[in-house]
Amino acid sequence: MSAPVTEAELQAWVDGQLPPPRRAAIDDYLALHPAEAARLRAYREQAVALRARYSPVLDEPVPPALALRRLPPRWRANSLRAAAMLALALAGGAAGWLARDAAEPSAMDGQAALPARAALAHAVYTPEIRHPVEVGADQQAHLVAWLSKRLGAQLKPPRLEAQGYALEGGRLLPGQSGPVAQFMYRDAGGARLTLYVSTEQTRNRETGFRFAQEGEVGVFYWIDGKFGYALSGSLDKAALAALANAVYAQLEPAA
């Protein structure tokens, strides 16, 4: 390390505000300090959960009872936006508690939790430069065998080269009641998709495609028996639907 790491730099790392040379140095530091890395990942997950929950407030109409009638229209709009921004910032003071509540499995049934969990995992890991996956695609056989064993079911990561996306790798994640898998794909321009696979669907029923918008992340998800699948990406709905169809076409025979 060329200079001591400060807490301010660690917080800037969480917010993605470090210049590239210093970011690389902090990445090296975190690789040597796993406890600090885990702490910062938790902060990042909290920030993502807060943004997903409260950012839509910025675009909501103001209730008539709260409208600032005496201000000129331009000042009124700016004041309302500033108030929403302040509320979002103040929410950070209770980040840990609110993020826990946002992700609390008991607060939503398994089907409703699926797109929210998938979008959160997508938002947390796709910005990573050096460690986006636990096991890379160069070890695909090991990756598939490992995740299949942990989930107790044979997994089959779809091939999306024809759609312009190559498998980058995958990782194991905590789910609602056990492990889930995340496969990550990347196109030539660096854009990433993630496929979240769960075997926690205890009702063992099927659903067709459903779409959810979680902040800036779009999610197409469906349930096939005990399997729950969620494809996440920062794409328009039509483009993501086409990719979800390509994924489903390859998973259907296995199901």
**Which pLDDT score is estimated for 41?**
83
Does domain 109-251 match CATH 3.30.200.100? yes
DSSP state of 94: G
Q: What is the pLDDT of residue 4?
A: 81
Distance between CA atoms of residues 141 and 148, nearest Å: 11
pLDDT of residue 252: 55
Query: Residue 103's pLDDT is what?
Result: 40
String of DSSP letters for 154-219: ---PPP-GGGTEEEEEEEEEE-SSSEEEEEEEEETTS-EEEEEEE---TT------EEEEETTEEE
Domain range list for the chain = 109-251
Picking from 81, 97, 74, 112, the residue whose alpha carbon sits closest to that of residue 201 is 112
Based on the number of CB atoms within 10 Å of its own CB, is 135 exposed (0-12), middle (13-18) or buried (19 or more)?
middle
- Single out the residue of 209, 43, 182 nearest to residue 119, CA to CA: 182
pLDDT at residue 191, rounded to an integer: 93
| Amino acid 10: pLDDT | 84
Please list the ranges in the chain whose pLDDT falls under 50. Answer: 1, 68-69, 71, 75, 91, 93-109, 253-255
The pLDDT value recorded for residue 170 is 95
pTM for this entry: 0.58
